[in-house]
Structure 1
Amino acid sequence: MTPEKRPAEDEEEQETKKLKEDSTAAVSEAAQDDTSQDSVGSDSASSTDPEKKQRLSLPEHRGTVLYTGCTQWEYIGRRNLKGIPAMLHHVPRRLAAFRGIRVAYVASHCSAAHTIFISDEGKVFSLGRNEKGQLGIGDTEVRAGVIPMDTMSEFTVVAAAVGRNHTLLLTDRGSVFACGDNKSGQCGVGNTTAVLHTPSRISFKEGKVVKVACGAEFSMIVDKKGYLYSFGLPEYGQLGHNTDGKFFVTSNKLSFQYERVPRRVPIFVERSKDGHPTPVTDVQIVDVACGNNHTVAVDAKKRPYSWGFGGYGRLGHAEPKDEYIPRLIKYFDGHNRGVEKVYCGSTFTIACSALGVFLWGQTKRTGEANMYPKPLQDLFGWDVRAVGCSTTSIVVAADDSVIAWGPSPTYGELGLGENVKSSTQPKEVKTLEGAHVEQITCGMGHTVLLVRDETEQDKEILGRLKEITL
């Protein structure tokens, strides 16, 4: 197992600020020229058009966005910077920018200080850190507040995923656009241009993409056949191609063979007690989640696989070994033990199954780790609808409640209030008692919740919350 760079305490080394604007523009323009089939303008085609009937759609639920946590983007996850109390929100707040706009999808990542919102009309909005162009608005300037991503105004976006400093956007026609940090090829556009200021289309001729996911510096996409593809940084085997991609440029300089375009993950295995691998057949991926440097996927038969960095037990194989190809998690092998949904934090994994909610890995910065899946007894009997995983914090939507926990230091992402800023035990978020939360996503130091707003009770609960202008 190779030593892992812990979740970004200090921002990666400063890159050359003076980028070649013309080369980045060329990438973007070339991508846009190739996207005429994605244009919303073509949506005026007859409703009997079979292609139109096959388009991807947004999730059925719509709702009001709530935000809790830090809004001082340059402060999150960095040492020697003092936070401004007014920019730390310890209870959920409504965002003024979405007044009158219903949201259908939210996306962030445990290593990210930015968030993507998709409205019920498929329009994209971004919020947060923009140092690598991850907001997709054409520059790397500091931005306050929610920004419409006008660069995607001609497209209908149905899903998104974000990494530490990059963003993936999935359109209704199954095409993927990427922007932000691309020094490791994590945007999948065929090169390692340092920054993509505007979303550029990923060239993917294998078919329609139906799901996207991001790790800190790598990405995953799933096509309509259930095949999994990966690209970006292979440092710990998280791409699943049986290599960490390392090679020596000189006798003392190490580099990586980055995957610049989507490459199919060819094989999934299970290992016997003596470590001998046997291929698993008939694997059709239906869900995938990424931590900083590991990946977990579930197939149509509810079999979970994990690979990448093995430290702190986050892979669930009862050993802290890196895995370079997807390995079946044997704990869930058996009748009625299948996994339905997976979520990843920076150094841990959560799985929802018919038997309950399980966690493995480390959710604290020090101390023991779960080397194999263990049930979260505090959630037993709850109908868990959604889970958000931050660096070490966890926020869960269950029944008509929100449950959160995470060790200090926190930035308000738990939403438990000024007096309970952190908690090692699950606690209910009192201000959201009775709220029906449809979706949760956590970034580094913040949580975004999508709350149902249809009934009178829903509106009453939301009306009690303060509104903030970022």
Structure 2
Amino acid sequence: MSSKRKKPPTKRGPAKRGKRKEESDVDSDLSETSDNENTTQPDEVLIAGHGDALDEPTQLPQELLKTLIKPAGQLLMFGLVNWDHTSNRTPKEVKVKLHPNLYVPHRFLDVKIRLAVSGCVSTHSVLITEEGKALTFGRNKFGQLGLDHIETKEVPTVVPVLENIHIISAACGRNHTLFLTDTGTVYACGDNRSGQCGVGNLQPNILTPTRINYRGPPIVKVGCGAEFSLILDIKGGLHSFGLPEYGQLGHNTDGKYFKTTTKLSFNFETSPKRIVLYIEKSKDGHVAPVDVTEIVDFSCGLNHTVAIDSKKRAFSWGFGGFGRLGHAETKDELVPRLIKYFDTQSKGVRSVYCGSTYSLAVTDFGALFMFGQTKRTGEANMYPKPIQDLTGWSINHVGAGNTSVIVSADDSVISWGAAPTYGELGLGELTKSSTSPKEVSRLQGVKVISLSMGFGHTLLLAQNETSEQKAKLDTFDLYEP
């Protein structure tokens, strides 16, 4: 059976005409309204064979699964835990009890967790247990927790639809979530008004995880921006879907068109579409294609993406404000563009991480570079610059939040972020924010397995194999919502 995509009907939705959205605004970051709302759009024609009984997926190769499935450990959490009250707006009616911010790391759940993820503009999180079950908690205004309702969940809850499916990874957008199974299949739920769930239509809310409208090589990594998503297949192909407003889908368009003389609208991508063009630009503006055979890693920010290929070259595209793309200019990029700095300096890029308005790259030698802006004021790094305070440290894990960063380097955990912060730095109540990297003394002696940051909270997985490690972790208070 042919797996070719039939040409879908045009997918359009309204958006306001006016000045460009100021991304660094907290209220706009967590807005529950959308200019893109349109529930009468036609469904995209499903890809041939999608969901057929004959199209049963098979498990990913064991060697690959060993690299994708991480060891389990003890979950520590700190930061803001009032999921419905993260933005500057204060609700008129407070229906739930308010928890004080956790300014120091707390143990959360006495269940071994293999993966804990959130996103730089997310106020919800996904936990994956040692057995491969997906648990979700946090804000749920659009059904992003996949629990078939829109009530906030304080306590991590098993996603019923996925209970008998082995989940190996997940990603969180502003109000949507992607889940990846051990067969390379992707499920999505939450806000879909820009097509960011990739199910082939613009159904506004998807309350339970639904298989995305994709038939191709198995998927090995998922990622979410604010209102867009990316998936990476086993052959190194990168596919994107959702809101194209700043070129963050990498398809050489921002998707804008005028519905009327005064009404600007977007052509949303409601199903995964492969990114096929990668370019480099010379100083005089000459554009040349770059031969990219395989993408190996990527990370999504608010409205931008950075990816690296098998030759350890870095590419970036999407919203260019504050220099977050690393090209020494603020222009939006509609297709992946080679970051010349790493290419000309012969610095191979090992991994990339994106916050709201900044990007981080770890080189082969374990050095951490930053481009963009973490603070709301002050100068931005228009091209990659090494973080001087971490010179000589070997970076192991990185968590990139809205305006905060946390890293594990050698045997220490280091964090920084300008005010306002909510405790996600873990530095204690006396030092709530810091513009320069500071060691989190409370975590000294903790072996970090992974790090992830949400809008105002941090999820840290710590190894708890030895009696010494368990004894150390027992000294942390238990957070019980």
Q: Is 1:363–2:382 an aligned residue pair? A: no
Q: Is 1:227–2:240 an aligned residue pair? A: no
Aligned partners of 2:293 and 2:332: how far apart in 1? 22
Q: What's the counterpart of residue 390 of structure 1?
A: 401
Q: C-alpha displacement at 1:52, in angstroms?
A: 6.4
Q: C-alpha displacement at 1:79, in angstroms?
A: 2.9
Aligned partners of 1:32 and 1:468: how far apart in 2? 41
Change (3 A) 1:62 1:158: same
Q: C-alpha displacement at 1:86, in angstroms?
A: 3.7
Q: C-alpha displacement at 1:234, in angstroms?
A: 0.3
- Residue 148 of structure 2 aligns to a residue whose secondary structure is coil
- Pick one of 239, 249, 272 that aligns with 1:239: 249
- Residue 458 of structure 1 aligns to a residue whose secondary structure is helix
Q: C-alpha displacement at 1:335, in angstroms?
A: 6.5
Q: Do the aligned residues in 2 keep the contact of 1:56 with 1:210 (CA within 8 Å)? A: no
- Residue 161 of structure 2 aligns to a residue whose secondary structure is helix
Change (3 A) 1:316 1:216: same
Q: Is 1:280–2:290 an aligned residue pair? A: yes
Q: Is 1:290–2:300 an aligned residue pair? A: yes
Q: What's the counterpart of residue 445 of structure 2?
A: 434
Q: Do the aligned residues in 2 keep the contact of 1:4 with 1:309 (CA within 8 Å)? A: no
Q: C-alpha displacement at 1:250, in angstroms?
A: 1.4
- Pick one of 34, 48, 56 that aligns with 1:37: 56
Q: C-alpha displacement at 1:204, in angstroms?
A: 1.6
Q: What's the counterpart of residue 101 of structure 2?
A: 88
Q: What's the counterpart of residue 471 of structure 2?
A: 460
- Residue 318 of structure 1 aligns to a residue whose secondary structure is coil
Q: Is 1:425–2:436 an aligned residue pair? A: yes
Aligned partners of 1:297 and 1:52: how far apart in 2? 24
Q: C-alpha displacement at 1:13, in angstroms?
A: 5.2
- Residue 106 of structure 1 aligns to a residue whose secondary structure is strand
- Residue 137 of structure 2 aligns to a residue whose secondary structure is strand
Counterpart of 1:12, as a letter, is: S
Q: Percent identity?
A: 49
1:108-147 map, 5 Å: 108-147=118-157
TM-score by length of 1: 0.90
Q: Is 1:6–2:24 an aligned residue pair? A: yes
Q: Do the aligned residues in 2 keep the contact of 1:55 with 1:172 (CA within 8 Å)? A: no
Q: C-alpha displacement at 1:411, in angstroms?
A: 0.7
- Residue 250 of structure 1 aligns to a residue whose secondary structure is coil
Deviation per residue, 1:411-460 (Å, 9 max, x gap) = 11011001111111111111100111111100011000011111222112
Counterpart of 2:426, as a letter, is: G
Q: Do the aligned residues in 1 keep the contact of 2:369 with 2:386 (CA within 8 Å)? A: yes
Change (3 A) 1:320 1:76: same
Q: Do the aligned residues in 2 keep the contact of 1:336 with 1:354 (CA within 8 Å)? A: no
Change (3 A) 1:294 1:260: same
Deviation per residue, 1:283-319 (Å, 9 max, x gap) = 3100010100000000011000000000000000000
- Residue 145 of structure 1 aligns to a residue whose secondary structure is strand
Q: C-alpha displacement at 1:54, in angstroms?
A: 7.0
Q: What's the counterpart of residue 48 of structure 1?
A: none
Q: Do the aligned residues in 1 keep the contact of 2:137 with 2:152 (CA within 8 Å)? A: no
TM-score by length of 2: 0.88
How large is the RMSD of aligned CA atoms in angstroms?
Answer: 2.5
Counterpart of 1:466, as a letter, is: D
1:48-197 map, 5 Å: 53=62, 56-57=65-66, 58-80=68-90, 86-95=99-108, 98-99=109-110, 101-197=111-207
Aligned partners of 1:94 and 1:32: how far apart in 2? 40
Counterpart of 1:162, as a letter, is: C
Q: What's the counterpart of residue 337 of structure 1?
A: 347
Q: C-alpha displacement at 1:252, in angstroms?
A: 1.0
Q: Do the aligned residues in 2 keep the contact of 1:31 with 1:202 (CA within 8 Å)? A: no
Q: Do the aligned residues in 2 keep the contact of 1:319 with 1:371 (CA within 8 Å)? A: yes
Q: What's the counterpart of residue 46 of structure 1?
A: none
Counterpart of 1:90, as a letter, is: Y
Aligned partners of 1:273 and 1:336: how far apart in 2? 18
- Residue 312 of structure 1 aligns to a residue whose secondary structure is helix
Q: Do the aligned residues in 2 keep the contact of 1:136 with 1:179 (CA within 8 Å)? A: yes
Q: C-alpha displacement at 1:383, in angstroms?
A: 2.1
Change (3 A) 1:141 1:325: same
Change (3 A) 1:52 1:35: farther
Change (3 A) 1:155 1:290: same
Aligned partners of 1:13 and 1:153: how far apart in 2? 29
- Residue 83 of structure 2 aligns to a residue whose secondary structure is coil
Q: What's the counterpart of residue 9 of structure 2?
A: none
Q: C-alpha displacement at 1:254, in angstroms?
A: 1.1
Q: Do the aligned residues in 2 keep the contact of 1:110 with 1:443 (CA within 8 Å)? A: yes
- Residue 9 of structure 1 aligns to a residue whose secondary structure is helix
Instruction: Give ranges in structure 1 of 5+ residues lacking alignment.
Output: 44-50
Q: Is 1:319–2:346 an aligned residue pair? A: no
Q: Do the aligned residues in 2 keep the contact of 1:7 with 1:346 (CA within 8 Å)? A: no
Q: Do the aligned residues in 2 keep the contact of 1:2 with 1:236 (CA within 8 Å)? A: no
Change (3 A) 1:192 1:139: same
Aligned partners of 1:346 and 1:282: how far apart in 2? 26
Q: Is 1:410–2:421 an aligned residue pair? A: yes
Q: Do the aligned residues in 1 keep the contact of 2:222 with 2:232 (CA within 8 Å)? A: yes
Change (3 A) 1:382 1:15: closer
Change (3 A) 1:396 1:374: same
- Residue 135 of structure 1 aligns to a residue whose secondary structure is coil
Q: What's the counterpart of residue 265 of structure 1?
A: 275
Change (3 A) 1:35 1:371: farther
Counterpart of 1:165, as a letter, is: N
Counterpart of 1:357, as a letter, is: L
Q: Do the aligned residues in 1 keep the contact of 2:279 with 2:336 (CA within 8 Å)? A: yes
Change (3 A) 1:35 1:170: farther
Change (3 A) 1:15 1:302: closer
Aligned partners of 1:377 and 1:52: how far apart in 2? 41
- Residue 56 of structure 1 aligns to a residue whose secondary structure is helix
Q: Do the aligned residues in 2 keep the contact of 1:268 with 1:283 (CA within 8 Å)? A: no
Q: Which moved more, 1:159-168 or 1:75-84?
A: 75-84
Q: C-alpha displacement at 1:274, in angstroms?
A: 1.0
